[in-house]
Structure 1
C-alpha cells in the first residue's frame, strides 16, 4: 500500500504495520538542498485510523497558528487532504 496524503505525507505498510512517512529534502555535502526528496518513517501504527489521527496530531503540534481560528483552518485543510487521499483508493474487485 502506498497512499499520498497531500504533498508531505505518505502512508505505506508492511506485513505488521501501517507506516506514516514524511517528505524531507536531501542536502549535499555543502548543506544545500538538492532536487532529490525522500520520505522518512515518522511512526508505525496498527491500523489506518491510528496513522491518520497521528498525522493530524503531528500537524497540530507543528503548526505555527497563533489563534484557534488559524489552527481550526489548518486542521480542516489536513482533513481535506486525507479525504482526497482516501477517495483515490481504488476498491478491490
Structure 2
C-alpha cells in the first residue's frame, strides 16, 4: 500500500504496520539541499486511523499558529488532504 497524503506525507505498510512517512530533500556532501526528494519513516501504527491521527498531531506540533482560528483552518486543510487520499484507495473485490 502507498497513499500520498497532501504533498508532504505518504502512508505505506509492511506485514505488521501502517507507516507514516514524511518528505524531505536530500543534502549533498557540503550540506546544501538538493532538489532530490525522499521519504523518511516517522511513525508506525496498527491502523490507518492511528496513522492519520498522528499526522494531524504532527502538523499541529509543527505549526506556529498565531490564533486558534488559524490552527483550526490548518487542521481542516490536513483533514481535507486525508479525505482526498482516501478517495484514491481502490476497494478490494
Determine the C-alpha separation between the residues in 2 that align with 1:31 and 1:71: 32
Across the aligned residues of Structure 1 and Structure 2, the Cα RMSD in angstroms comes to 0.6
Q: State the partner residue of 1:30.
A: 30
Determine the C-alpha separation between the residues in 1 that align with 2:14 and 2:22: 16
Which secondary structure state, in structure 1, belongs to the residue aligned with residue 64 of structure 2? coil
Task: Report the CA distance between 1:35 and its aligned residue.
Answer: 1.4
Determine the C-alpha separation between the residues in 1 that align with 2:73 and 2:35: 30
Task: Report the CA distance between 1:45 and its aligned residue.
Answer: 0.3
Per-residue displacement from partner, 1:25-57 (whole Å, max 9, x unpaired)?
000011111111100000000111000000000
TM-score, normalised to structure 2's length?
A: 0.97
User: Which ranges in structure 1 are unaligned for 5 or more consecutive residues?
Assistant: none
In the alignment of these two chains, the number of paired residues is 93
TM-score, normalised to structure 1's length?
A: 0.97
Q: State the partner residue of 1:85.
A: 85
4+ runs deviating over 2 angstroms: none
